[in-house]
Amino acid sequence: MSGIREAKKRATRQAIIAAAVRLFAEQGFEKTSIEKIARAAGIGKGTIYGYFRAKEEIFLAFCEDEIDYAFAALAEKNDPEAPVLEQLLTLFTSQFRFVTRNQEFGRLLIREMAFPRSTGRAQSRELNSRYVSGVGEILERARRRGEIGEHFDPFSAIGHLYALHLLMLSSWYSGYLQGEAEVTAVLRVLLRQALAGIGAEEEPSRAERELLQQLQRRTLAAEP
C-alpha cells in the first residue's frame, strides 16, 4: 500500500509542476496564482500546499528536475572515466534539451537563472550547491587522470563552463544557433577551448571553422 501511495504522491507532484510550467509559459510567472495552478492540475488548492508552500517552490522544483535529468543522462550515456569533454558535452546538451522543450517557459527559466528572485533564494542556493558539486566531481576526476591542470580552481572553472551553457541558450533563443546539432557542435569547440586554454587550443576542424564563420555572420547581421 505504501508503494501505491508514494506513486500517487509523485504523480500529483508532477501534475502540479506540469500545470505550473504550462501556465508560467502562457501567462507569465507574476500572473499565475496557486488557484490557477490547482485548477489546471485538476486538484484542490489545499492539495498544492501539501507539496509546495508557494509558486516559487514549484518553479524551483522544476529546476531540481532539470538537474536530475541532466546528471541521469550523464550517468546513462557516459562512463565516469570518459574524457571530460564528452562528459561536459553530455551534461550541457541534456540541460539544453530539457530547458528548450517548452520554449516560452525556457525563456522565463533562463531569466530566473541569470537574475534569481529574493524569494526562494535558500532553496535556489541548495540547487546551485548540488550542481556545483556534481560538475566539480567531473572536473576532479579529470584532474586525477591528468586531463586538466593540477592547480586549476574548481569554482571559477565551473562558473566559466556555466557561462558557456547560458551563452548557448541565449544564442539559440536569438536564432544565431539553429537546432541542437549546431548547439552541440559550437559547444564542443567552446568547451575544448575552455579546457585547453585560449593560448593552447587545438585548431578547429574545417567543418567547425565553417560553422563558427556562419555563426559570426548571423551575429553581425541585422536579421539572423
What residue segments make up the domains of the chain, in order of their start? 1-53, 56-220
pLDDT of residue 201: 52
If DSSP codes are grouped into helix, strand and coil, which group holds residue 224? coil
pLDDT of residue 15: 94
- Return the higher-pLDDT residue of 224 and 140: 140
Q: By the 8 A CB rule, do 146 and 74 touch?
A: no
CA distances (Å), origin 68, targets 3, 75, 194: 22, 11, 25
Contacts of 109 (CB under 8 A, 6+ apart): 62, 63, 66, 99
What distance in Å separates the CA atoms of residue 48 and residue 119, rounded to the nearest whole number? 18
45 pLDDT band, cuts 50/70/90, is very high
The CATH classification of domain 56-220, taken from the options 3.20.20.10, 1.20.1050.10, 3.90.1170.50, 1.10.357.10: 1.10.357.10
What distance in Å separates the CA atoms of residue 208 and residue 19, rounded to the nearest whole number? 40
1-53 adopts what CATH topology?
Arc Repressor Mutant, subunit A (1.10.10)
CB atoms within 10 A of CB 94: 19
What distance in Å separates the CA atoms of residue 205 and residue 158, rounded to the nearest whole number? 26
Q: Is the model's pLDDT at 213 over the cut of 90?
A: no
pLDDT tens digits, residue range 182-203? 999 999 999 999 988 765 556 6
pLDDT tens digits, residue range 134-183? 999 999 999 999 998 877 778 888 889 989 999 999 999 999 998 899 99
Place of cell 529574493: 118
* Average pLDDT of the chain, as a whole number: 86
Return the C-alpha cell found at 53. 508552500
pLDDT of residue 224: 47
